[in-house]
């Protein structure tokens, strides 16, 4: 089944990388542990195409896990980056692009009156949690199993399913005292939410949720769930933090909040952003109501800072990216995503492989299961081995999917007819591989 593809240089790099970096990678999912095989070391990328160090080409459906919404090395972003770089790399003083990027975000997402720029989504959620705790003088946080908010100690807790449980740390090194302040609930379960608030409502600083989860695969909120989050937090004096690091500026010009269309009813108190707003560079943000944001240093008592926060090159890239995200771009993303997902679904159906395609605007994932997935327990029921065979066959034919079945597939404005045709051609073989019980 495996087609011949020379990966010897990637393998040699991985072997060497393992001696100087844990697992040979700088972020665990890159190591291909969920799918097996050799992670490809990418030498360069242009538009929708990745080229690895052995010269193999792949259509990219990772898009750097979301940021590359325009495709790789977009000339407009390249130009902005080169111009910014020619004026210096980092000043440690305020600079103009920071204000421009903050203004762009504030103008798009209506409840966001102020933003603070940071360098990663993890920093954004960590800082939003601190701000929520500072604002409410409470310490507990509610999160949902299967939602990922970066590797913040208090948010690495998954816990089991069912009613509110105090989480066990999901990672070694997270003190029980830290995870113990986190209540983990099943996603899309209003009864569990009610029960947790009935018991702990006056201790909860904030509920943090992915606006539409993409980190257990794509599992959108069921109708009314986001509204229930808003209502219960308001009733108990807790804040609602919507993590739009993945969905922000991807699901619409105003992210999932703009896409969902229940705006007034569900407006969160705080948002977090990342990925697309950095255009492939390290830029992220958290923001929200002015009265909350003014609690941050230097105006208020909640400390937060960053040497490279608002970096002039990252902000130039982010600004150029957001400005290029026109309505036509969003329409293109939708079209391309649907073409790919429909073709994949049709081939899987022909091959007799049970699956579900799930959507959040143009973000989608395919679960290898015959039941709709509404929470993390449902996501875990999928056939991860079938996905691994599917992934392997796609990769061998030059299509790079995210190397895990718990991830969204990302498309870009640069995914043109040629790239889509290349994906569609690879699907029948991959679907048959998914159906096969022989090891790929």
Phi-psi region of 66 (alpha: psi -120 to 50; beta: other; left: phi over 0): left
State how far the Cα of 366 lies from the Cα of 357, in Å rounded to an integer: 5
Which positions from 353 to 382 touch ligand PLP by CB under 6 A, shown as an x/- string?
------------------------------
Of 32, 41, 58, 65, the one binding ligand PLP by CB under 6 A: 65
To the nearest whole angstrom, how small is the minimum distance from the Cβ of residue 214 to ligand PLP?
6
Residue count at the site for ligand PLP (CB under 6 A)? Answer: 15
Asked if 432 is part of the footprint of ligand PLP (rule: CB under 6 A), the reply reads no
Query: How is residue 315 written in tokens?
Result: 């902000």
Residue 275 and residue 246 in contact, taking contact as beta carbons nearer than 8 Å: yes
Q: Decide if 46 is catalytic.
A: no
In whole angstroms, what is the distance from residue 419 CA to residue 286 CA?
35
Does residue 235 have an active-site annotation? no
143 is a contact residue toward ligand PLP (CB under 6 A): no
Residue 383 binding ligand PLP, by CB under 6 A: no
Residue 150 C-beta: closest distance to ligand PLP, Å: 3
Nearer to ligand PLP, 130 or 149 (CB): 149
Interactions with ligand PLP, residue window 104-133 (CB under 6 A) = 120-122, 125
Distance, in Å, from the CA atom of 156 to the CA atom of 96, rounded to the nearest integer, reads 35
Q: Which CB sits closer to ligand PLP, 133 or 250?
A: 250
Please report how close the Cβ of residue 243 comes to ligand PLP at its closest, in angstroms. 5
296 binds ligand PLP (CB under 6 A): no
Q: Which CB, 48 or 121, lies closer to ligand PLP?
A: 121
- β-pairing, 57-60 with 49-52? antiparallel
Cβ pair 185, 192 in contact under 8 A: yes
Q: Is the torsion defined by CA of 258, 339, 337, 144 positive or negative?
A: positive
Of 54, 60, 153, 275, catalytic: 275
User: What is the smallest separation between the CB atom of 182 and ligand PLP, expressed in angstroms?
Assistant: 15
* Tokens matching residue 298: 């230097």
Nearer to ligand PLP, 150 or 310 (CB): 150
Site membership for ligand PLP, residue 144 (CB under 6 A)? no
- Active-site choice (54, 58, 60, 148): 148
Catalytic residue among 243, 269, 383, 392: 243
Strand partners for 57:
51
Work out whether strand 57-60 and strand 42-46 pair parallel, antiparallel, or are unpaired.
Answer: unpaired
Minimum CB distance to ligand PLP smaller for 23 or for 354 = 23
Under rule CB under 6 A, residue 246 binds ligand PLP: yes
What's the token pair of residue 87?
């004026």
Is-catalytic flag, 275?
Answer: yes
DSSP structure string for 282-322: S-EEEEE-HHHHTTBTTTSSB----TTTT-HHHHHHHHHHH
CB 262, min distance to ligand PLP, A: 20
Selected binder of ligand PLP within 60, 74, 104, 243 (CB under 6 A): 243
Single out the residue of 274, 279, 310, 312 in contact with ligand PLP (rule: CB under 6 A). Answer: 274
State how far the Cα of 149 lies from the Cα of 121, in Å rounded to an integer: 7
Least distance between ligand PLP and beta carbon 281 (Å):
11
Q: Which is nearer to ligand PLP, 150 or 288 (CB)?
A: 150
Structure tokens at 261: 């269309």
Q: Rule CB under 6 A: say whether 74 interacts with ligand PLP.
A: no
If 0-12 CB within 10 Å is exposed, 13-18 middle and 19+ buried, where does residue 354 land? middle
Q: With respect to ligand PLP, which residue has the nearer C-beta, 216 or 396?
A: 216
Cβ neighbours of 138 (radius 10 Å): 21
Nearest residue relative to ligand PLP (C-beta) = 121
Read off the tokens for 14: 């991985």
At residue 215, φ and ψ (nearest 5 deg) are -100, 5
Contacting ligand PLP within 173-232 (CB under 6 A): 210, 215
Q: Which of these ranges, 130-138, 238-246, 329-337, 378-386, lies near ligand PLP under the rule CB under 6 A?
A: 238-246
What is the crossing angle of helices 417-435 and 327-350, to 10°? 30
What are 116's strand-pairing partners? 286
Q: Round to whole Å and give the CA distance between 128 and 116.
A: 10
Contact 141, 205 (CB under 8 A): yes
Q: Which residues bind ligand PLP (CB under 6 A)?
A: 65, 120-122, 125, 148-150, 210, 215, 243, 245-246, 274, 284
- The set of catalytic residues is 148, 243, 275
């Amino acid at each position: 089944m495996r087609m011949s593809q020379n990966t010897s240089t990637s393998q040699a790099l991985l072997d060497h990388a393992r001696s100087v970096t844990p697992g040979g990678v700088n972020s665990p999912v890159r190591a291909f542990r969920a799918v097996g095989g050799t992670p490809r070391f990418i030498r360069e990328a242009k538009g929708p195409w990745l080229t690895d160090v052995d010269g193999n080409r792949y259509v990219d459906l990772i898009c750097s896990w979301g940021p590359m919404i325009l495709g790789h090395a977009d000339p407009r972003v390249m130009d902005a980056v080169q111009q910014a770089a020619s004026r210096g790399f980092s000043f440690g003083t305020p600079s103009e692009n920071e204000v421009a990027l903050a203004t762009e975000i504030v103008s798009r997402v209506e409840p966001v009156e102020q933003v603070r720029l940071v360098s990663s989504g993890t920093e954004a959620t960590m800082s939003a949690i601190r701000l929520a705790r500072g604002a409410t003088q409470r310490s507990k946080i509610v999160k949902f199993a299967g939602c990922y908010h970066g590797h913040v100690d208090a948010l690495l807790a998954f816990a089991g399913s069912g009613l509110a449980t105090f989480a066990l740390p999901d990672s070694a090194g997270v003190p029980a005292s830290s995870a113990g302040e986190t209540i983990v609930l099943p996603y899309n379960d209003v009864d569990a939410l009610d029960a947790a608030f009935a018991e702990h409502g006056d201790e909860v600083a904030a509920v943090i949720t992915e606006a539409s989860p993409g980190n257990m695969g794509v599992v959108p909120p069921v109708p009314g769930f986001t509204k229930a989050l808003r209502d219960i937090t308001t009733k108990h004096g807790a804040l609602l933090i919507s993590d739009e690091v993945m969905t922000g500026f991807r699901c619409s010009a105003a992210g999932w909040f703009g896409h969902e269309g229940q705006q007034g009813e569900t407006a969160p108190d705080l948002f977090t952003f990342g990925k697309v707003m950095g255009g492939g560079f390290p830029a992220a943000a958290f923001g929200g109501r002015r009265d909350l944001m003014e609690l941050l240093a230097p105006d208020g008592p909640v400390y937060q800072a960053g040497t490279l926060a608002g970096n002039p090159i990252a902000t130039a890239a982010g600004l150029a990216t957001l400005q290029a995200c026109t309505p036509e771009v969003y329409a293109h993303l939708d079209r391309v995503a649907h073409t790919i997902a429909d073709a994949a679904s049709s081939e899987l159906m022909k091959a007799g492989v049970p699956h579900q395609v799930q959507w959040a605007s143009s973000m989608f994932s395919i679960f290898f299961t015959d039941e709709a997935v509404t929470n993390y327990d449902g996501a875990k029921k999928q056939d991860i081995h079938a996905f691994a065979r599917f992934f392997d066959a796609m990769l061998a034919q030059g299509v790079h999917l995210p190397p895990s079945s718990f991830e969204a597939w990302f498309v870009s404005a640069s995914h043109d007819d040629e790239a889509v045709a290349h994906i569609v051609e690879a699907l029948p073989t991959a679907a048959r591989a998914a159906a096969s019980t022989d090891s790929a």
